[in-house]
Chains A and B, each alone.
Chain A
Amino acid sequence: MSVSWIEVNELKRHYQRGPQTVRALDGVSFEIDRGELVAVVGSSGSGKSTLLNLLAGLDTPTSGSIRVGERFLEKLTRRELALYRAHAHGMVFQSFHLINHRSALQNVELALYFSDLPARERKHRATAMLERLGLGDRLDHRPGDLSGGEQQRVAIARALVKEPEILFADEPTGNLDHDNAGQIASLLQELNRGGLTILLVTHDRELAERVGQRSIRLVYGKVESITSAGEVTA
């Protein structure tokens, strides 16, 4: 059996709220192969975002381990973790998290501040990425002047411009109308066909079924089921 690309093992993330322990993640294990598009589904509060943040190296688990390629995240230093965030993955959020006072181009460029590229090359790559996502005529627009779908595409451009191995998307269509959501879903599929590994968090079952090759269902911080596309969910 070949070794998988991402391996999550007995991952726990507990929050202490006074005397109460919130078990946001409580022993999650799964594997993801390179080039897969995996959907993480579950109801609100089931721990999807918590899982994504741990995988992205923005949060540290209470216990358990995450391996991405050769990296065991829990063994990385702060600096190495920052480098992992800078190079290994891109993130897309439900509320875009674009910086409002910066233009689309500047927002995308920002992702390259942590690579050693010269300013010119940064600008060139950011422009090319925005053009590829159909925003070539919106380079100098502020996020506030763009539609939701366009904003999310800028966010995707920002996530992809550093040519990451994985894309973490947390409810990328959550704030979009049906048409825009559909466009973003198609874009993700297209990117995946191009070889990008994608972990897509959504509570939109339809979306998960449409684009996901597999779905990981979380319930109260535990994996309830992992289903492959075409399988009938119980």
Chain B
Amino acid sequence: MTTREIIALSAGNLWRQKLRASLTIAGVIIAIGSFVAMLSFGIGMQKRISEEFENLGLFTTMQVFPAREGEEGDSLTRPLLNDEGVERLSTLPGVRLAYPMSSFDVEVTYGDTSFNSEVLPLPSSAFSMKYFTSELTGETYPDDSSHHAVVTHDLLDILGMEEPEELLGDTLVLQTRPADLDSAIARVIVGFGNPIQRIGELYLDSLQTPGYVRDLARREMQLGLQRFVNGYFNARPTLTDTIIVSGVTESAQRGHLLLAPILVSPAISDRLDRGSIEDDPVALLQALRGGTFFSEEQEARDGEYSRATLNLDPAYDPVAIKDSVEAVGYRALSYVEEFNEMRKFFLIFDSGLGIIGLIALIVASLGIVNTMIMSILERTEEIGVLKSLGADDSDIHRLFLVESGIIGVIGAAFGIVLGWVVTRIASLVAQQIMRQNDMPVLDIFHIPWWLILFSIAFGLLVSLLAGLYPAARAARVDPVKALRGE
């Protein structure tokens, strides 16, 4: 018998027992349907996350930080994450580009509003990384001396704007008053008035009471300190720069790390960010009191960045790159690792969902076994006839196997449709909830092609396994007994 004849015979037999066949098939449909719906949820979630990672270019991005103190070896061997360090990072195999990241505070004036914001200097070449340009509206700045800026949606939020287009082409005035030791000292001296004369006055009036002199000296010292601090803050020159917003990029959140709301070219930051001394008053006073104002530590760590961002060659294994960065002595954060962790989680998650579908499929397969055995009992005579007409055992075996295979394939095909319908309904409900809760509306289900093929193959496989025993039993039917008597 050819395969075509066997399929025709099997299909005919199923068709004859429409009700029984369709009940059995319904079991498979429900099983495959739940299998598809469950897995499509896991796959959909995973897909959204990997899309998010892809959008942000996180697969080719790595963050590098200076090693923590007391971590791995002594502080002497701890390399600085300064220009030299960043340079060195950029030469590691698999690293395409390395950028230092060090933001500073400015006062921003936009129209009538003023506010403080962080600014991050970024070389124009960094915009070759998706990491900085995901969902970019407008343009990046063309070169490192440009007076253009790319801002993030966070700045829009500050300004109470909805659409990026509202801000494009507008002007921002950035202002800093960097602390400067020289100007501060100059101010203190000027504020003293005529110091020689004052010391003279002190001497004449209170020679007899040393306690009073001490007291006075202390007061003068305090006054001097006050003047210094005053001078320090007031004598700072105001530096101003005007920039034009050329582009607006996605939110500031970049895989746990914040991007400043304003990105500017290094030329702007060179002008605005002197950043030599701490200008938080509390920290400043503490430094003065504690004697660490001019300390070695401050000097040694000068010019060090709090982090650097690496753009990786996708052809290289990120884990290997991470190892080589850590070998140099820095800390590294690879998003790929994080993603792989998530993948592991989803693998377990998906397997859990798959097992639920599998249980349904096992139940359905018992239905198939039952149907097939019933079919054999009813068709013993027919098997005898077929054998007398020239069928051999393997023909009968195939005939019954194909019959249960057809149950599996039809069940799987409609099961996929059922699964799809279920996920569409669930997706609509989920999206409604997302909308009500002001969450970004996502489709959390996804049925990829391979899942469809896999489900059909799986349905077929399970039904064939279910058909093995009945088929073997059918093949063993003794034609002499089957044809004897009535």
Contacts and interface: CB of A to CB of B under 8 A. Distances in A.
A79 B392 CA distance: 6
A194 to B, nearest CB: 22
Given A83-B390, A113-B5, A58 B382 contact: no
Nearest to B382: A99
A201 interface: no
B483 interface: yes
B198 interface: no
- Of B16, B386, B388, the most chain A CB neighbours within 10 A belong to B388
B479 interface: yes
B393 interface: yes
B214 interface: no
B442 to A, nearest CB: 53
A16 to B, nearest CB: 15
Contact of A85 (B9, B389, B393): B389
A82 interface: yes
Interface in A84-123: 85-87, 91, 93, 95, 97, 99, 101, 110-111, 113-114, 116
B356 interface: no
B385 A85 contact: no
Given A97-B381, A99-B382, A113-B1, A56 B485 contact: no
B395 interface: yes
A68 to B, nearest CB: 15
- Of B5, B16, B389, the most chain A CB neighbours within 10 A belong to B389
Given A97-B381, A97-B385, A101-B16, A86 B390 contact: yes
A114 B391 contact: yes
A49 interface: yes
B115 to A, nearest CB: 84
Nearest to A102: B12
A58 B390 contact: no
A58 B391 contact: no
Interface residues of B, number: 24
B389 A99 contact: no
B480 A85 contact: no
Given A49-B484, A95-B486, A110 B479 contact: no
Interface residues of A, number: 25
Interface in B1-50: 1-2, 5, 9, 16
Interface in A39-96: 49, 53, 56, 58-59, 78-79, 81-83, 85-87, 91, 93, 95
Contact of B385 (A49, A59, A78, A99): A99
B387 A85 contact: yes
A87 B387 CA distance: 12
Contacts of A91: 388
A158 B382 CA distance: 14
Contacts of A95: 485-486
Nearest to A59: B480
B384 interface: yes
B380 to A, nearest CB: 11
Given A95-B485, A114-B1, A82 B390 contact: yes
A97 B384 CA distance: 9
Contacts of B485: 95
B14 to A, nearest CB: 12
B240 to A, nearest CB: 91
Given A95-B486, A113-B5, A114-B1, A58 B387 contact: yes
A157 B333 CA distance: 82
A58 B387 CA distance: 8
Contacts of A113: 1, 5, 9, 389-391
A58 B389 CA distance: 10
A85 B381 contact: no
Nearest to A109: B5
B392 A81 contact: yes
Contact of B388 (A58, A78, A79): A58
Interface string A200-222: 00000000000000000000000
Contacts of B391: 82, 113-114
Interface string B152-191: 0000000000000000000000000000000000000000
- Of B1, B382, B384, B392, the most chain A CB neighbours within 10 A belong to B392
7 contacts: A85-B387, A85-B389, A86-B390, A91-B388, A97-B385, A97-B483, A158-B389
Given A53-B479, A81-B392, A113-B5, 15 more contacts: A53-B480, A58-B387, A58-B483, A59-B480, A82-B387, A87-B390, A97-B384, A97-B385, A110-B385, A113-B1, A113-B391, A114-B1, A114-B389, A114-B395, A116-B2
The list of the 6 closest CB pairs from A to B, nearest first, reads A86-B390, A82-B392, A114-B390, A85-B390, A58-B479, A59-B480
